[in-house]
Chain A
């Protein structure tokens, strides 16, 4: 009996192509659970990657074009779809840009409420990133724990805004809801719990020799490379560049708050894991400070209350809910071009809004953080083994819907 071995011509889900002597092309994604809605085309010599090519655009939704056909207020819930856990951070610059065009300044209380939700979002976003990072490395505990703890902050955001993920909280002129009863106590409990948990994350994940062996000196982004590629967010700060929009160009209430922005010199995957833990700590500090320092007053601009009928004031007194006047549906924004930026969970997000004195914008340009970080795969993956690719991918915290928008 002869033994014949049959070699499958094509492995399911993986396209393998020989392109030279000992050189193969491997398509990872877009359905691969480890790659999200993107594809990385890598060329391998044995086990070592010699070339990597990030292939984006699988979840492109033409948001910028859609925005041109919508009224100004309707763009807020549209742009929220970019990042699931970062809804307030990712739409805040748009709202600021519209406010600049309309020449209005939100009241101080609204600024603090926006910062509060932004930091809750940042904690949730980083926890989500850490969870994905954990499961990429095969560390299931680190997958389950941050995803469970994220729920605490999603619940906190729901208490504040009424929705778990897509809050639509910041609108031109202020915010849609005031602080509910008992929020301060609940937030303090959540913050105390999270500080305790971060210590345990360190023990089970960052101090774990198995994780350290997989992360240290893997996927090093040097300071020069980070500056050359123009990457943003925790990734660039892990490479030693002191860049955070909250410090360079403080927006909302950030110039009144005391916080630290951690910067690491190493630039490897381990530093990128550490920076997220420290940033969560700082965000928790900011949440505490915001709740202490929050001034009394209205969460909406005084011009709004001048136009609002008496029923609106009554509803606000009873339910802390700011009712919108029908004028918001056809808000006419003066002509001009405004530019605003903010530090979202994954990095700097930039908006350019151009209006031609109409109800709809002429152009809304978005530059999202993940789009600027995606290019990094091309430069840091070559030279590593295939087994290091998930570690690098997880450490970048790349989020396809945000990049493709």
Chain B
């Protein structure tokens, strides 16, 4: 059954509302003053342990790559390029993908289109690069698993849904599988 239109009217303000309206607003404000509902992340002292399904930075497994160029072809931002590399002496050079994070929009299409699962997302969304040139990765660095800078000293946390508080910040070890 499809949706239906319902005609409504905005409540007309009456004189009593000048008292009850102000009082109600103040009471709600006071309720949250006494018992605030905060879920601020104290970044970088805390960091979110992201889900495994998160579309974060991308890593290449060179052993699985067959050089089909599908990832470079589907990339909507032309972030992925193919480079020809001679892996074994005496053999023809083979194309491998490299990524330019200046351009990448993390749509994850390259990971999804890879026929051998050579590309994979890492659950990382914050990596520090000191210059723009550094964000243009070469084949060597594209295979390294990058790490969030807050991992070294920060505390991993997780957000879990809660019917009373919306989201609740808990230590990552208590969060359970999500």
Contacts and interface: CB of A to CB of B under 8 A. Distances in A.
Contacts of B148: none
A79 B129 CA distance: 28
B109 A271 contact: no
A338 B77 CA distance: 26
B34 to A, nearest CB: 14
Interface in A158-181: 158-159, 161-163, 166, 168, 176-177, 180-181
Contacts, number: 195
Nearest to B12: A216
A47 interface: no
Given A152-B161, A258-B3, A271 B105 contact: no
5 contacts: A152-B166, A268-B10, A274-B10, A309-B115, A323-B114
A4 to B, nearest CB: 46
Contacts of A270: 10
Contacts of A256: 1-2
A85 B98 CA distance: 30
B161 A190 contact: yes
A261 B53 contact: no
A363 B22 CA distance: 54
A192 interface: yes
A57 interface: no
Nearest to A81: B105
Contacts of B13: 209, 212, 216
Interface of A: 70, 73-74, 76-78, 141, 148-149, 151-152, 155-156, 158-159, 161-163, 166, 168, 176-177, 180-182, 185-186, 188-190, 192-194, 196-197, 200, 203-205, 207-210, 212, 216, 240, 242, 244, 246-247, 250, 254-266, 268, 270-271, 274, 278, 309, 311, 315, 319-326, 328-330
Given A278-B8, A321-B112, A324-B74, A208 B161 contact: no
Contacts of A274: 8, 10
B76 A77 contact: yes
* Shortest beta-carbon contacts, A-B, top 5: A74-B76, A326-B70, A329-B74, A162-B55, A329-B73
B74 A168 contact: no
